Amino acid sequence: MTFEDALTGVRECAGVSVTVISDRDGIPVTSWSERSEDVEELIAEYSTFLRDVTSANRELQLGALDQVAVVAERKVVLITSITDTYFLLAVVGRDGNPGKARFASRLAAHRLRHEFV
């Protein structure tokens, strides 16, 4: 299974405009976007955010981070851990189906895990 095959289910969800697999340092492995100019900034900002959330989880002894949803007025950003080092990020419009995209992201991360271990 290729990365693209694993992400097909996420991309097919209503309202998904971006999918990215990246490492925690913000270096993308693969990405797809309706507007490619948004991807680099998105990865940079959210990889920093993810490091901060992971650090807070460690300090509070909440356990490993599995998934984060940032729900804004127009978009929902879903961040799903693949391993401790890699994550899947998906952006979904509020008029789309964020719940289905969240589920599809979890399935894709599970399918991809063996590729990164």
**pLDDT digit string (tens) for the chain, length 117 residues:** 688 888 999 999 999 999 999 999 999 999 999 877 678 899 999 999 999 999 999 999 999 999 999 999 999 999 999 999 999 999 999 999 999 999 999 999 999 999 988
| Range 3-116 has CATH code 3.30.450.30 | yes
Q: Which pLDDT belongs to residue 73?
A: 95
Residue 72 CB: number of other CB atoms within 10 A?
9
CA–CA distance, 100 with 74 (Å, rounded to integer): 17
pLDDT value at residue 101: 98
> In 3D, which of 3, 40, 98, 82 has the Cα closest to residue 90?
98
- Looking at residue 108, its pLDDT comes to 97
Residue 15 token pair: 């309202």
> Would you state the structure tokens that stand for residue 57, as one six-digit string?
């989880």
